[in-house]
Amino acid sequence: MKTPVYIIDTYLTLAQKLYSGHELSQATSAFESLKKGVQSICAGKIKDVDKIQQVLEYFYTEQLFSLPPRDKTLAAFDLLQAVTSHTGTAPVMTVILSDCLRSIGLAADPVIAGQKLLLRIDMGENQYVFIEASQGQSLEWAQVEAYLGKVRKDKKIEVPQANSIVLLLLSLYKAACIDAEDYAKALAITDLLVAQEPDNPYERRDRGFLLQQLDCDAFAVEDYKFFVQKCPSDPSAQIIQLQLENINRNTQPIH
């Protein structure tokens, strides 16, 4: 069996600045324990369909992975917290479940469906199993089309690279932090996203917004200018231009 590429490892590499050494160590240990458990229950199983069923039962019934209660939603967007707490949003659980299945040699990949992720398992000979991770249920083809749009069964569905999946998870986490008005955490995440995509005008716009919320107007200027220059026809560009003018007025020196 080839050594699997784990999305969680990619996340640990890209997002390590968000966490303390203890948090990283704790999540790494929890992930290793999870993989060992999956490998143990699937030992001796020959058919892939039997392995999938065993992993789903282990993941949802024994390890009790589940969606968060409403008052714990923000933490559930955090992949590392979800690995240790076994509570996560559907996209986060999709990634964890995907890596569990990869640990036993299955070709399990998250596929992007708008702001959602579905888990696709390649069974060979153009046969696939699709799983929606919030409940761990396999989907009929009509349900897959509802997420992905009308696609032929024989059409190849694009499988994103691990890096793209991680950036999506971080973007969703950032949006949740903004909704919760945790601007400091949102800024830390945005800095990571800008480091990966420095020419993405929307990440630069978001960073400008967050800097403003944290009373760092002068530092927001360059990001706002970049966005207005790159996206002059965007509906928000006019508003941001007015904000720039207001910042300039408020930061002019008094003679």
Cβ–Cβ under 8 Å, residues 81 and 59? no
Lookup: tokens for 238: 């006019």
Lookup: tokens for 53: 């069923």
231: Cα separation from own chain's centroid? 25
pLDDT in tens, 21-51: 999 999 999 999 999 999 999 998 889 999 9
Q: What are the residue ranges of helices labelled H in the chain? A: 7-15, 21-41, 48-57, 79-85, 90-102, 141-148, 162-179, 183-196, 201-213, 217-230, 237-251
Q: How far apart are CA 41 and CA 34, in angstroms?
A: 11
CA distances, 12 to each of 16, 83, 87, 180 (Å): 5, 12, 18, 24
Residues spanned by CATH 3.10.620 within the chain?
7-162
Confidence of residue 143 (pLDDT cuts 50, 70, 90): confident
Helix (H, G, I), strand (E, B) or coil at 87: strand
Residue 80 clears pLDDT 50, i.e. is over it: yes
What is the number of other CB atoms lying within 10 angstroms of the CB of residue 221? 18
Q: How far apart are CA 85 and CA 204, in angstroms?
A: 32
pLDDT in tens, 46-64: 899 999 999 999 999 999 9
Among 160, 206, 214, smallest CA distance to 183 is for: 214
Q: How many CA atoms lie within 13 A of 212 on its CB side?
A: 18
Question: Is the torsion defined by CA of 158, 159, 163, 166 positive or negative?
Answer: positive
Confidence of residue 155 (pLDDT cuts 50, 70, 90): low
Q: What pLDDT score does 45 carry?
A: 80
pLDDT in tens, 186-198: 999 999 999 999 9
Q: What is the DSSP-derived secondary structure letter of residue 59?
A: I
CATH topology of domain 7-162: C8orf32 fold (3.10.620)
Mean pLDDT estimate for the chain: 91
User: pTM for this structure?
Assistant: 0.91
Confidence of residue 135 (pLDDT cuts 50, 70, 90): confident
Q: Which amino acid is at 226?
A: F
Q: What pLDDT score does 254 carry?
A: 41
Among 192, 157, 158, smallest CA distance to 79 is for: 192
